[in-house]
Structure 1
Amino acid sequence: MTAATHSPLFPQAPDTADAVLEGLDPEQREVATALRGPVCVLAGAGTGKTRAITHRIAYGVRAGILQPSSVLAVTFTNRAAGEMRGRLRQLGAQGVQARTFHSAALRQLQYFWPKAIGGSLPRLVDRKIQLVADAAAAGRIRLDRGELRDVAAEIEWSKVTQTVPADYPYAAVKAGRDVPRDPAEIAHLYAAYEDLKRERAVIDFEDVLLLTVAILQDRADIAEQVRSQYQHFVVDEYQDVSPLQQRLLELWLGPRDSLCVVGDASQTIYSFTGATPDHLLDFRTRHPGATVVKLVRDYRSTPQVVHLANGLLAQARGRAADHRLELISQRAAGPEPGYTEYTDEPAEAEGAARRIRELVDAGVPAAEIAVLFRTNAQSETYEQALADAGVPYQLRGAERFFDRPEVRRATTALRAAARFGANDSLLDDVVDLPSQVRAVLSGEGWTSHPPAGSGAVRERWESLAALVDLARDFAAARSGATLGDLVVELDERANAQHAPTVQGVTLASLHAAKGLEWDVVFLVGVAEGMVPISYARTDEQIEEERRLLYVGVTRARERLHLSWALSRAPGGRPSRRPSRFLDGLRPGSAATVGRTAAGTAGGIERGLAKEASLVAPRRTRRTPARCRVCGRTLTDPGDMKLMRCEDCPSDMDEGLYERLRAWRAVQAERTGQPDFCVFTDRTLMAIAEAQPATPAELSRIPGVLARKLQRHGADVLAICAGQEVSDDGAGD
């Protein structure tokens, strides 16, 4: 086994302690054999940090230096803790405790509570939303669901930073928090929330750490009992430690120095939860004699991906940037990152879906492809584009669009309006479908302008806005459509997107992608206002956004595609520009970087040209789309698909259109898909107007993607030529 191997799994445990060290590179071996005193491992992305620390523990156990039951390894997610336990078992180091901070603290709290406090430990509530709601109601403060989530997040931040209610307003301002309500009001809600917990004899997730810290501080005998149990500590992802977790670690450790921490300041992306890299960066100050090892050999990504990642950090500023690690790829050369500019967000989603479809058709497993975006609200566009392209997908770290509570409620409201709309005063004098939908969803929180700031309120609005946009497109594609028709369409879309897709392409936010990796990664929406996000204002916030993009880049093993859109909607003003973080790194930008380990900027330019060729000509041009009849600028996506205004005369062959619709119904029934997954009504109208005679003419019609041309092109051209198409798809 070589150090470049992704997984350290052995068919059987190593026979000896020295065998545990086999296959480690020199720096990993240094980590594994540094078993005395404090150790700080600065590990870049993809450098095998988990491999190094698990082999370190296993080597210490197999060499008789560490007793398994005396080792406590802590990390931040149950998945990471489970992976660590599995690797330790494979290495013959059974009995080592590998847990999250909360899991380890809860276990100790349950054990020592009767002795320290007496009685049983109060009930632990999994979610604090209902308690926050009750506290708000008691104070006669009205909060919607999004605001409840945001206030709960502020309470969590306060507790992990050890901020009491009275100090919250000052602490929030000092930390530059983008608070969802008046700070004094949040402080009042925080205090009421704590009072309510005491009345109901319950504790929350953060109390587990706070109470464990309190007991260990107040009871020296209990602290000594814990320290006699655990003599050696390993902390993974140390850059994500909060002040409260650091305090707990110090109490576990006591006056000893048998501590190994692992982290990378350049991957600090959770400061909004209270995480800070200061503990990692100050480690050598607190422990002057510490052994420091840097892991910079990247076994995950190609030289081309690593070059871009290094370039991003080379432009960074601040304390974390001063301690950045220059990664060195250990893999063979791969393709240059691709950069694609699109006219609008739907075109960007369609372009990504088209490229993914080609990769899947070429044999790349869908599970080895990811689409990463900045906010969860961006997912719906890509869910729809992938569904239209027939590509299975799965969401990670976010609910499916049609599973989101606000979308469920909105769909229920639309269904009720469709049934009883005649008795709804909201719909009085409202004739067209988009206006009806806006009227109904205004009661669910939709407004014509997005709310300021970020957080759950903004995400909720984005979900409702997506439904408004969907209604507009649907009405444009189906003349005379009713609310009832739209509800049926929503149900069909929900069913199509909830098909079993376990092995599908991963859709995830950049935050949710931390700790994961794929062969192919599409980083989408890499534009100013999104990366960095618009509400990132301070230098520290901007730099965290840069680190977030760095995390996204380093998720890719072999192929990386970055893209952005010039406008949000088709026909919109092209006012956006690519992210400032790509300046000097992407082709054509200022101060373009020189040669990479395996190619030049010219190679990147060729990659750009290849990617741009995948975009439909009608989508990539930057001049406004104009009606082919009257010449007016088109802004409605449905009109742009037809290349004419809805009111302008149509030369559509009605008979051909009906034959195409009948054929589509047969295809949809055969594949078990909704009709629109074959071709939308508007695409069929465009075909019936253009009456293409060749594959080239058919491919120029918007909505006829390469995959659909290959699958359905022969049938469509046969129908346009007046030929009969048999049920098995073969023209007569």
Structure 2
Amino acid sequence: MAELPRLLEGLDPEQREAVTAPRGPVCVLAGAGTGKTRTITHRIAHLVERGLVVPQQVLAVTFTARAAGEMRTRLRALGAGGVQAQTFHAAAFRQLRYFWPRVLDGSVWPLTDNKFRLVMQAAHRLGMSTEKESVRDVIAEIEWAKASLVGPEQYSKVTTQLGRPTPVVADQLSKAFEVYEQLKNEARVLDFDDLLLHTAAILEDHPEVSEEFRSRYRSFVVDEYQDVNPLQQRVLDAWLGGRDDLTVVGDANQTIYSFAGAAPKWLIGFPRRFPEATVVRLERDYRSTPQVVSLANEVIDAAQGRPAGTRLRLVGQRADGPKPDFAEYDDEPAEAEAVAHRIAALAQQGVALSEIAVLFRVNAQSEVYEKALSDADIPYQVRGGERFFARNEVRQAMVSLRGAAARDDLSGEDLPANVRAVLSELGLTTRPPEGGAARERWQSLSALVELAEELAATVPEAGLARYVAELDMRAEAQHPPTVEGVTLASLHSAKGLEWDAVFLVGVVDGTLPIQHADGNDAAVEEERRLLYVGVTRAREHLTLSWALSRSAGGRRHRKRSRFVHSLVPEGHPAALPAQTARRSGSSGKSKADKPTCRLCGNRLVNTKDIKLGRCAECPSDADQELLAKLRAWRSQRARELQVPAYVVFTDATLLAIAEQRPGDSAALTAIPGVGATKLERFGAEVFELVSGE
């Protein structure tokens, strides 16, 4: 067999077909994990190596600076370093700086560094709310309108036709849009979307400019083509100028940004637009185990009304791995604690914490996982959002709650009602807003009420002062130093990333699919694609879980997501109806089973207190000499096992051992954090240290 050319080595037949396709229109339908970046970079390098294109005449665009940087690095390694690989906006800005002085007076206007201030001025001039969240919602709508090629004068009519929810009355928002544009032009500045709008306009309206540009760039590549919006497609059409030397790569099954104007119609319709196009389907998944791939296929196969261009069916290429797991819990704290324990077990098995992710639908869900990981001494980082207690609305709420507790001016002993009364002054309403920043703020404030409900269920006599103290303790615990650890991220911010182990949490109706998607078939299907994106982030370990109640002791009224009904294997404990599971005792504890302090007898609420077996107010009776020996032993064992020390035992577990001095297996495993695996692995050594032998 003849030896393959260098740039075709290691490629599968479909990847080679895409790489060697002739110049002209090429559409690569690439499923998750199928090596699309490798394929398109090898295609570009192959065209350059064969002398079919000059590197400097190729423009490759994608959607993030990270992806563009990765593309440039790979192209340099393949001998095609002169290719321009940039984001849409970076490419447009570069072109504007060059062409602007030729067609307009002076140099290109600078990018505004304060869009928020301009929109706030517009809102103030019109008597609209200038609250931070309201302004952010107006900004998001203006960005959607510009990306969708909708001007201020068309906004009201178009949103009505589309049935698009608007944060304020559509006519009012269109006026704010108009005033914002006036203020921006008076200040002689551009916003991000203007880079694309002006680039398209210059190329469309000035033939001498477009002729020069098209002689400079002759071949185009677009990555993540399912995510283009009408404005980006207009720019691409202006770049092409009727030519067809275009390679596009995408996966309509991963279209999750339609709220920002993205649409897969150009990807799906590519063969109709270019009847001579080469169309290649990449379906061999090199990222995930066959078990994960099979579940991903089940998720997307259930989608309604899938057009032909979306019917990719992944085929796993890796060795077998563990089956995806499913778990149902009584409440979110129990779900989060179980996830933390499973993460500790994976770390003990050698999975790096940086290769583990907890993914959720909305950022407000992160708080309970931040707490559970903090209690378990597992480092983490929040991607694409602030930690819960660092959010502006949460900080404002804590100031108001602290003030109310100090004044003691609330009547009644109903803690959740008192908290709700305080937060209502900050904008907490009975019903959630439609969406956007206002809904994120509502979700954060609502989470604070649910924390009050959780505390009231476990400590009925707790008042506002006790609740504020609990919040302060949680806030302090959830600011660990920034270190490499478990990733907490929303499903949207996880796009394009992958981990060895993924926990998809909070998979309940009303969250996934999100409540405001109900009644809109297209919105529900986008939520299904979001779950598909989450599943395909996992290389080997995958767990989907949900909780029947938000807070401990709360009413178990939630239902697992409709998307997972057909996914849970028959006979799996999580497949049982909730009431059956409760009767069989498969999960949850009765209030009588709640742990109490071994010193004062009060009920324990905090996870760390439960681990120690005493409340924080009671003095520690730890054997300090034993504690020092335990720490020295842990350090030695961690070095031997080449794992972080907390993987052996956390600080809280060591302190609990030093306090309780367990003498047998039952006593040791009664300490949370010491399961059967750790008993078998470390039990004998711990008993020797405790006994002093």
- 1:573 counterpart = 2:555: yes
Spell out the pairing of 1:618-697 with structure 2 (5 A cutoff). 620-621=586-587, 625-627=590-592, 661-663=619-621, 696=666
C-alpha contact 2:458 2:603 (8 A) present in aligned 1: no
Q: Summarize deviations over 1:602-642 as a string: whole Å, max 9, x none.
A: 8xx49x79xx9xx99999546x83547xxxxx9xx999xx9
- 1:87 counterpart = 2:74: yes
C-alpha contact 2:148 2:231 (8 A) present in aligned 1: yes
Spell out the pairing of 1:47-446 with structure 2 (5 A cutoff). 47-126=34-113, 128-320=115-307, 323-414=310-401, 421-422=406-407, 427=409, 429=411, 437-446=419-428
Distance 1:451 1:678, change over 3 A: farther
Distance 1:657 1:618, change over 3 A: farther
Q: Summarize deviations over 1:135-155 as a string: whole Å, max 9, x none.
A: 111111124222222221111
C-alpha contact 2:222 2:247 (8 A) present in aligned 1: yes
Q: CA deviation at 1:323?
A: 2.8
Q: Summarize deviations over 1:92-112 as a string: whole Å, max 9, x none.
A: 111111000001001111211
Q: Distance in 2 between matches of 1:199 and 1:516?
A: 41
Q: Distance in 2 between matches of 1:710 and 1:453?
A: 50
- 1:511 counterpart = 2:497: no
Q: CA deviation at 1:427?
A: 2.7
Q: Distance in 2 between matches of 1:212 and 1:393?
A: 42
Please give the secondary structure, in 2, of the residue aligned with 1:207: helix
Q: Distance in 2 between matches of 1:665 and 1:119?
A: 77
Q: Summarize deviations over 1:166-218 as a string: whole Å, max 9, x none.
A: 21122113333232222222112212211221222222111111111111111
- 1:560 counterpart = 2:542: yes
Give the match for residue 445 of structure 2: 464
Q: CA deviation at 1:66?
A: 1.4
Amino acid at match of 1:156: E
Amino acid at match of 1:662: S
Q: CA deviation at 1:472?
A: 5.8
Amino acid at match of 1:64: G
Moved more, 325-334 or 311-320: 311-320
Amino acid at match of 2:311: R
Q: CA deviation at 1:277?
A: 0.2
C-alpha contact 2:296 2:535 (8 A) present in aligned 1: yes
Which one of 451, 457, 479 corresponds to residue 498 of structure 1? 479
Please give the secondary structure, in 2, of the residue aligned with 1:40: strand
Please give the secondary structure, in 1, of the residue aligned with 2:516: coil
Q: CA deviation at 1:492?
A: 4.9
Which one of 514, 527, 533 corresponds to residue 545 of structure 1? 527
Q: CA deviation at 1:552?
A: 0.6
Q: Distance in 1 between matches of 2:248 and 2:285?
A: 19
Amino acid at match of 2:503: F
Q: Distance in 1 between matches of 2:150 and 2:4?
A: 46
Q: Distance in 1 between matches of 2:12 and 2:601?
A: 60
Q: CA deviation at 1:283?
A: 0.6
Percent of residue pairs identical: 54
Q: CA deviation at 1:495?
A: 4.3
C-alpha contact 2:20 2:43 (8 A) present in aligned 1: yes
- 1:585 counterpart = 2:567: yes
C-alpha contact 1:427 1:439 (8 A) present in aligned 2: no
Q: CA deviation at 1:114?
A: 1.2
Q: Distance in 1 between matches of 2:286 and 2:235?
A: 34
Q: Summarize deviations over 1:46-100 as a string: whole Å, max 9, x none.
A: 0000000001111111222211110100000011001101111111111111000
Moved more, 344-353 or 491-500: 491-500
C-alpha contact 2:450 2:551 (8 A) present in aligned 1: no
Distance 1:522 1:586, change over 3 A: same
Q: Distance in 2 between matches of 1:383 and 1:619?
A: 28
Amino acid at match of 1:376: N
Amino acid at match of 2:530: L
Q: Distance in 2 between matches of 1:497 and 1:317?
A: 41
Please give the secondary structure, in 1, of the residue aligned with 2:164: coil
Distance 1:432 1:293, change over 3 A: closer
Gaps of at least 5 residues in structure 1 are: 1-15, 589-601, 629-633, 647-654, 719-724
Give the match for residue 503 of structure 2: 522
Q: CA deviation at 1:401?
A: 1.4
Please give the secondary structure, in 2, of the residue aligned with 1:502: coil
Amino acid at match of 1:543: E
Moved more, 657-666 or 271-280: 657-666
RMSD: 4.0
Q: CA deviation at 1:378?
A: 0.6
Amino acid at match of 1:389: A
Q: CA deviation at 1:568?
A: 1.8
Q: CA deviation at 1:560?
A: 0.8
Please give the secondary structure, in 1, of the residue aligned with 2:61: strand
Q: Distance in 2 between matches of 1:400 and 1:167?
A: 38
Give the match for residue 25 of structure 2: 38
Q: Distance in 1 between matches of 2:92 and 2:412?
A: 58
Distance 1:730 1:486, change over 3 A: farther
Q: CA deviation at 1:162?
A: 0.6
Distance 1:416 1:281, change over 3 A: same
Q: Summarize deviations over 1:677-720 as a string: whole Å, max 9, x none.
A: 9779xx99xx99xx99965467568x667499979x99xx99xx
Q: CA deviation at 1:314?
A: 1.5
Q: CA deviation at 1:659?
A: 9.9
Q: Distance in 1 between matches of 2:569 and 2:584?
A: 23
Please give the secondary structure, in 2, of the residue aligned with 1:519: strand
Gaps of at least 5 residues in structure 2 are: 605-612, 635-644
Amino acid at match of 2:121: D
Question: Number of paired residues?
Answer: 653
Give the match for residue 721 of structure 1: none
Q: Distance in 2 between matches of 1:665 and 1:253?
A: 76
Q: Distance in 2 between matches of 1:485 and 1:176?
A: 46
Q: Distance in 1 between matches of 2:80 and 2:93?
A: 24
Q: Distance in 2 between matches of 1:460 and 1:434?
A: 18
Provide the TM-score with structure 1 as the length reference: 0.80
Please give the secondary structure, in 2, of the residue aligned with 1:118: coil
Provide the TM-score with structure 2 as the length reference: 0.84
Please give the secondary structure, in 2, of the residue aligned with 1:444: coil
Q: Distance in 2 between matches of 1:580 and 1:405?
A: 33
Distance 1:126 1:45, change over 3 A: farther
